[in-house]
């Protein structure tokens, strides 16, 4: 039984979850193996409904846990077809073991991660704790700031992950509730155009090729383990960015929508810059625009690709600024924030004299307001004027009680 095409308007009103579900439908996934968790659940619910309505042909395996969800994805991907799933927070944490296995076995699975806080205390709302938890797992990590981007980046994800030079799994992140449950206008592609961008799945070493049996998931000890891990790391560091750039370029040609590995806003002559991810990028852009009105040369750098970390693009974007704020939406638990650390690492051996300070914000769904960012830009400007960081290196934004600041 052939499936039906879906007629879409040029612009549909979708939230981030439904946008991701539509992208999965249009990519014609062969197997989805999933377990529901807030706030990502509507992605697989949407997929299930498309299946129920004959808009999809494929297998939907509703497993008994997130660990099993990724285990099923790994088995299905090794068997040789297009595979995807979605998760958040605790489910992501339960998956972590299998995330390393998927990347170590070089399987091009796409995982939509709707970012949410990690317990305890239990919290269903958005922050980047789960995104950060996955940062060493060997997956490519893309970040969408809006439903439109959640839709678009899924196509990019399959295109890059399934490239035979890459063969690494890819996460598409979006902010829990803020992106996943906020409906906006989303420019669509028709089914054929969308599918043409990702193309047919091309299996490699698939278990269902009975003329060429394969062994997946071998044992290595000190004699080979290092070579496997080093090669995987090398491919992440050297092969992925050019493929992402090509995919971005091709996507722009197809849709007119331009993506960059690092998204720069008003950075041409900026003195001060905020570096952040997710929905806060848009808020920071709004505030930067207002600061420009007050004569402050403010800019914003948003990371579109989190892993591999875009060292050169970040260095280039920040080379002329005088003060930088790294905004981390995860509790660093005993160190400066991840983004702070990574920016420090990327900039240390460059000629920049920029003053770097770190801010932790928005944990468990706490709002980041324009007032917060206006104050933050003012602090950065004060640092520039004084020629040194006047505040502690690490501050918490908008937390009740005594001001929390360290280092």
Partner 1 sequence: MSEMKKIKNLKEFSTSADRFEGANLLCPGCAHSIIVREVLNATNDDLVLAASTGCLEVCTAVYPYTSWDASWIHIGFENGSTAVAGAEAMYKALKNKGRLKQPDRNPKFVAFGGDGASYDIGFQWISGCMERGHNMMYVVLDNEVYANTGGQRSSSTPIGASATTTPAGRVSYGETKNKKDMMSIMAAHHIPYAAQVAPNKWKDMVKKIQHGMEVDGPVFINAVSPCTTEWKFDPKDTMHITDLATDSLVFPLYEIIDGHELNITYRPKNVVPVEEYLAAQGRFKHLFKDEYKYLIKEWQERVDANWAYLNRREEARV
Residues that bind partner 1 (CB under 8 A): 30-31, 33, 57-59, 61-65, 67-68, 71-81, 83, 97-98, 101, 105, 203, 206-211, 213-220, 224, 228
Distance CA 280, CA 177 (A): 13
Of the pair 81, 365, the CB lying nearest partner 1 is at 81
Of the pair 33, 38, the CB lying nearest partner 1 is at 33
CB of 27 to partner 1, least distance (A): 13
Of the pair 97, 249, the CB lying nearest partner 1 is at 97
Distance CA 5, CA 189 (A): 12
CB of 30 to partner 1, least distance (A): 4
CB of 62 to partner 1, least distance (A): 8
Residues in CB range of 268: below 8 A, 6 or more apart = none
Going from the C-alpha of 92 to that of each of 96, 133, 206, 338, the distances in angstroms are 6, 9, 26, 18
CB of 306 to partner 1, least distance (A): 25
CB of 202 to partner 1, least distance (A): 11
Query: What 8-state DSSP symbol labels residue 400?
Result: S
Of the pair 7, 211, the CB lying nearest partner 1 is at 211
Distance CA 170, CA 157 (A): 6
The answer to whether 406 and 393 are in contact (CB under 8 A) is yes
CB of 231 to partner 1, least distance (A): 12
Of the pair 33, 188, the CB lying nearest partner 1 is at 33
The structure tokens listed for 43 are: 């992605």
Residues in CB range of 124: below 8 A, 6 or more apart = 38, 39, 89, 116, 117, 176, 365
Angle at 40 between CA 157 and CA 42, to 5 degrees: 105
Of the pair 58, 362, the CB lying nearest partner 1 is at 58
Of the pair 85, 279, the CB lying nearest partner 1 is at 85
Of the pair 79, 254, the CB lying nearest partner 1 is at 79
CB of 228 to partner 1, least distance (A): 8
Distance CA 8, CA 60 (A): 23
Burial of 407 (0-12, 13-18, 19+ CB in 10 A): exposed
Q: Backbone phi, then psi, for 82, in 5-degree steps?
A: -85, 130
CB of 319 to partner 1, least distance (A): 43
Which residue blocks in 162-213 are alpha helix, DSSP H? 191-198
Dihedral Cα 58, 62, 65, 69, nearest 10 deg: 0
CB of 136 to partner 1, least distance (A): 18
- DSSP strand pairing (83-87 vs 323-328): unpaired
Q: Backbone phi, then psi, for 173, in 5-degree steps?
A: -95, 145
Of the pair 69, 157, the CB lying nearest partner 1 is at 69
């Amino acid at each position: 039984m052939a499936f039906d095409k879906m007629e879409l308007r040029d612009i549909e009103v979708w939230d981030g979850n439904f946008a991701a579900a539509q992208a999965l439908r249009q990519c014609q996934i062969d197997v989805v193996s999933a377990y529901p968790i807030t706030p990502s659940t509507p992605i697989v619910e949407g997929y299930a409904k498309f299946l129920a309505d004959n808009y999809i042909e494929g297998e939907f395996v509703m497993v008994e846990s997130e660990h099993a969800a990724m285990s099923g994805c790994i088995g299905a991907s090794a068997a040789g077809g297009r595979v995807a799933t979605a998760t958040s927070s605790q489910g992501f944490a339960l998956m972590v073991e299998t995330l390393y296995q998927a990347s170590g076995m070089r399987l091009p699975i796409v995982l939509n991660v709707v970012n949410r806080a990690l317990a305890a205390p239990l919290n269903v709302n958005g922050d980047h704790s789960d995104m950060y938890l996955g940062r060493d797992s060997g997956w490519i990590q893309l970040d969408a700031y809006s439903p439109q981007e959640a839709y678009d980046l899924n196509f990019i994800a399959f295109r890059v992950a399934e490239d035979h030079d890459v063969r690494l799994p890819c996460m598409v992140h979006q902010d829990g509730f803020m992106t996943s449950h906020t409906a906006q206008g989303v420019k669509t592609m028709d089914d054929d155009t969308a599918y043409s961008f990702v193309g047919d799945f091309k299996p490699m070493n698939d278990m269902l090729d009975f003329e060429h049996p394969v062994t997946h998931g071998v044992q290595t000890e000190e004699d080979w383990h290092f070579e496997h891990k080093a090669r995987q790391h090398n491919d992440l560091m050297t092969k992925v960015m050019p493929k992402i750039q090509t995919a971005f370029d091709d996507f722009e040609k197809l849709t007119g929508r331009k993506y960059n590995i690092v998204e720069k806003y008003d950075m041409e002559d900026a003195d001060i810059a905020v570096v952040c991810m997710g929905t806060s990028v848009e808020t920071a852009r709004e505030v930067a625009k207002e600061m420009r009105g007050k004569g402050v040369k403010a800019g914003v750098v948003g990371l579109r690709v989190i892993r591999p970390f875009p060292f050169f693009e970040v260095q280039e974007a920040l080379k002329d600024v005088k003060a930088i704020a790294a905004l981390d939406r995860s509790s660093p638990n005993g160190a400066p924030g991840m983004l702070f650390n990574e920016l420090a690492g990327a900039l240390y051996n460059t000629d920049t004299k920029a003053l770097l300070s770190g801010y932790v914000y928005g944990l468990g769904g706490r709002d980041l307001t324009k007032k917060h960012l206006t104050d933050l830009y003012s602090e950065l400007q004060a640092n520039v004027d004084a020629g040194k960081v006047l505040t502690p290196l690490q501050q918490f934004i908008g937390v009740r009680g005594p001001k929390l600041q360290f280092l």
